Structure 1
Amino acid sequence: MAYAPTPSNQIRALVLKLLHVSLTARDADALSAFYKRAFGFVERRPPKQLSGAIVSRGNGLPNSDIYAIWLNLPDVQGPFLEILAYSKTLERPKPAVNETGYAHLAFEVDDLYDSISTVVQSGGSLQGEVTNFGTQDQPHLIVYVRDPEGNILELEQPAG
């Protein structure tokens, strides 16, 4: 089905629903294991190999061959985390916090310090320092960390 643009005099508001966030990985199984260990993600469905003309037409990358893992947060059937490993992957430097484009994934946690420890013990690393965006009486703590492949994550422990 070919795309046909809507005439500019007929632009309408879109109805959107966030379906998933996708990370391209060097090692999808290892990155999946990190998210399972550090944040309790669970498999949404068994991993799949995606290839062929239909996949290449959809993503615009000729000869696509992709290993795909879908993960959910426990007891959540909403948006999921998709981890993809392409048979031919382009390398890039570790993303900078202030680099344009997608910046980070943010997670609310119950105990920030415990979460930092779990991230580091699971193969991630600390990016920034714990910072209080709340008050002394009602602290709202945040910190940036990285997963084992260098992707930036924000952890937030809200006040209360």
Structure 2
Amino acid sequence: MTQQTYPRTFSHIGISVPDLDAAVKFYTEVMGWYLIMEPTTIHQDDSAIGVMCDDVFGPGWGSFRIAHLATGDKIGIELFEFPNAENPQNNFEYWKTGVFHFSVQDPDLEGLVAKILAAGGKQRMPVREYYPGEKPYRMVYMEDPFGNIIEIYSHSYELTYSAGAY
């Protein structure tokens, strides 16, 4: 018998930032996400979370700060601040394996662009239409003030791509 597959739901994403307090402020005030766990310092020790972090980060990680947020559609956001954080001049290495952006949806795409820019973020491209003259679906690539890449859609992912190939 063939095992049926099903689409799993998205739980959360972890984002590294050089300044946790500034990132919490940005993501709550600009993105409108909810702070569900205040910034906390995690130390390497024998606690359950300490042991889990040993498994993930390996020996000698020491400590880090973390905060938990949630989007309006219940997706979790873990913000991490590591003591040895690097903030590269250009964090857009899309050719390397791994996540190179995350995406949010806002029908007031241009309004969110303005808020991100006012908060110290960057706009990587002009706002573009997916189907010019046919459908009002727009998108843009931005950076948060810490260099993380954010794509913004005006409409849902399903609506944007349900028309098939470009």
Q: Hey, what does 2:31 align to over in structure 1?
A: 39
- Extract structure 1 runs of 4+ deviating beyond 4 A: 13-17
1: distance between equivalents of 2:57 and 2:9?
20
- Among 10, 16, 31, which residue is 1:24 paired with? 16
1:19 alignment partner AA: S
Q: Hey, what does 1:80 align to over in structure 2?
A: 76
Give the RMSD, CA atoms, in angstroms.
2.4
Residues 1:67 and 2:38 aligned together: no
Secondary structure of the structure 2 residue equivalent to 1:69: strand
1: distance between equivalents of 2:12 and 2:57?
16
| Deviation of 1:29 (Å) | 0.9
Q: Deviations over 1:83-139 (max 9, x none)?
A: 101122245442226332211010010111111101111221111111100241421
TM-score normalised over the length of structure 2: 0.77
Structure 1: gaps (5+ residues): 1-12
Secondary structure of the structure 1 residue equivalent to 2:21: helix
1: distance between equivalents of 2:149 and 2:86?
19
Mean CA deviation greater in 45-54 or 119-128: 45-54
Identity %: 18
2: distance between equivalents of 1:98 and 1:45?
31
Q: Hey, what does 1:5 align to over in structure 2?
A: none
Secondary structure of the structure 1 residue equivalent to 2:67: strand
Q: Hey, what does 2:106 align to over in structure 1?
A: 109
Q: Is contact 2:12-2:75 (8 Å) kept?
A: yes
Q: Is contact 2:87-2:147 (8 Å) kept?
A: no
2: distance between equivalents of 1:95 and 1:86?
17
1:36 alignment partner AA: T
Secondary structure of the structure 2 residue equivalent to 1:57: helix
Rate the CA distance shift 1:117–1:91 in 2: closer, same or farther, 3 A: closer
Rate the CA distance shift 1:113–1:63 in 2: closer, same or farther, 3 A: closer
Mean CA deviation greater in 104-113 or 135-144: 135-144
Secondary structure of the structure 1 residue equivalent to 2:100: coil
Structure 2: gaps (5+ residues): 46-50, 161-166
1:113-152 alignment, distance < 5 Å: 113-152=110-149
